[in-house]
Amino acid sequence: DVKVTQSSRYLVKRTGEKVFLECVQDMDHENMFWYRQDPGLGLRLIYFSYDVKMKEKGDIPEGYSVSREKKERFSLILESASTNQTSMYLCASSINPTDYYGYTFGSGTRLTVV
């Protein structure tokens, strides 16, 4: 089975801190995605990557950046955490755009910024 692993299940960070959320997939998927999930808003795409060292902005990239130095790892970076970035963050990967299963998701990181 494809596995997408997010390094932390829960994180508490202080306002202004630089925060790294790590995501690793083990099935050689080309595509990786970062979403944030908020009640009533569903999942919103932050950034995605179709290849190593490649990144594209999603719908809500402000306040975030990403890094993909290796195919299996896709990191989300909060340059200066703010309280409005308190959310559930979900990483996902897929083989290609028409992958039958859509995405494979990690279990999520619930980030609280205080």
Partner 1 sequence: AQKVTQAQTEISVVEKEDVTLDCVYETRDTTYYLFWYKQPPSGELVFLIRRNSFDEQNEISGRYSWNFQKSTSSFNFTITASQVVDSAVYFCALNSNTDSWGKLQFGAGTQVVVTP
Bridge partners (DSSP) listed for residue 113 = 13
Residue 60 interacts with partner 1 (CB under 8 A): yes or no: no
Residue 41 interacts with partner 1 (CB under 8 A): yes or no: yes
Rounded to a whole number of angstroms, the CA Rg of the chain reads 13
Q: Closest approach of Cβ 79 to partner 1, in Å?
A: 23
Residue 101 interacts with partner 1 (CB under 8 A): yes or no: yes
> Under a CB-based contact definition with an 8 Å cutoff, are residues 106 and 4 in contact?
yes
Nearest-angstrom CA–CA distance, 25 and 17: 26
Binding site for partner 1 (CB under 8 A): 31, 33, 35, 40-45, 48, 50, 58, 88, 90, 92, 94, 96-98, 100-108, 110
